[in-house]
Amino acid sequence: MTLSIIICSRTAEIKPILSSNIDETIGVDYELIVIDNSENKYSIFEAYNLGISKSKGNFCCFIHDDIFFHNKNWGKIVQNIFEQNSKIGLIGVAGAKVKTRMPSAWWDCPENVKSINIIQHLKSGHIEHWEKGWEKKIEEVVAIDGVFMAARRPDKIHFSNTLTGFHNYDLNLSFEYLKHNYKIVVAKEILIEHFSIGTINPSWYQSVIKIHDMYADILPLKLNSQSNFNLKKLEFDNGAKFLFESFKHIKKIHSIKIWFKLLLLKPKSKLHFKFFKLLLQ
């Protein structure tokens, strides 16, 4: 079996250190498909779909162009997980066990519902090893981070043809696999180092609105193991955070829609007065 490694590269070619690292650590037969996006010709959705169309592997692995694998035979780990459970469709290294209906990132949730194992470089220059949320080597989640996503051959599943830009493709793929009745997991034994960290900018806020509208029919998401989790509180917290942080970056009609949902969740809150003051400025 072959593993297809698909990279949307910001340069014409990926760095030799990454290609060597993949070759030395993957431990299985693979093909490397690099989509040259040095001229910003493709959105991340288009680039990955192009990679899928070029791929021949049984499984596709979408990775960033600025990572480094720290463990040997990670490709075997991916293959073994897929082969041992046909219900698993997607594998990551960081994810969450709940996802709100309110616009938010996958990581906007309490620490005890996240499972992460990654060495992360921060904008400050510090390097941190984030390792949390592991009771087993494989944890089921409802959404994963896009830095590393291994997918069962996605013949019927592709990235969105309507979403644009470079944000929320990981939520897009996560939700698509869930809609096709697959499970999503994160694997503790795959350890990567990520040399950059995502940027929250106006286009991110706009993308969040679009993807949550697109998947409104399946949200919110919560694993059965989180039966006692207070999702209503998280919905309010996420909605409030997004409402005020995104206000200058999204259309007012979207802000009002979010506020109205917050009003229904918690009619008595100082937030409503605060929002009206903001709206009238």
All domains of the chain, ordered by start, with CATH?
3-279 (3.90.550.10)
Check: CB of residue 146 under 8 Å from CB of residue 62.
yes
State residue 262's pLDDT score.
Answer: 97
Low-confidence ranges of the chain (pLDDT < 70): 1
Spatial CA neighbour of 22 closest among 11, 34, 10: 34
Question: Cα angle vertex 164, ends 236, 210, to 5°?
Answer: 25
State residue 196's pLDDT score.
Answer: 94
State residue 153's pLDDT score.
Answer: 87
What does the pLDDT look like over 35-55, one tens digit per residue? 999 999 999 999 999 999 999
- Measured CA to CA, the distance from residue 237 to residue 8 in angstroms comes to 34
Contacts of 259 (CB under 8 A, 6+ apart): 243, 272, 275
Spatial CA neighbour of 271 closest among 231, 242, 249: 242
State residue 155's pLDDT score.
Answer: 78
- Measured CA to CA, the distance from residue 72 to residue 46 in angstroms comes to 31
The full 3-state SS of 157-204, as one line of letters, equals: CCCCCCCCCCCCHHHHHHHHHHHCCCEEEEECCCCEEECCCCCCCHHH
State residue 68's pLDDT score.
Answer: 98
Beta bridge partners of 203: none
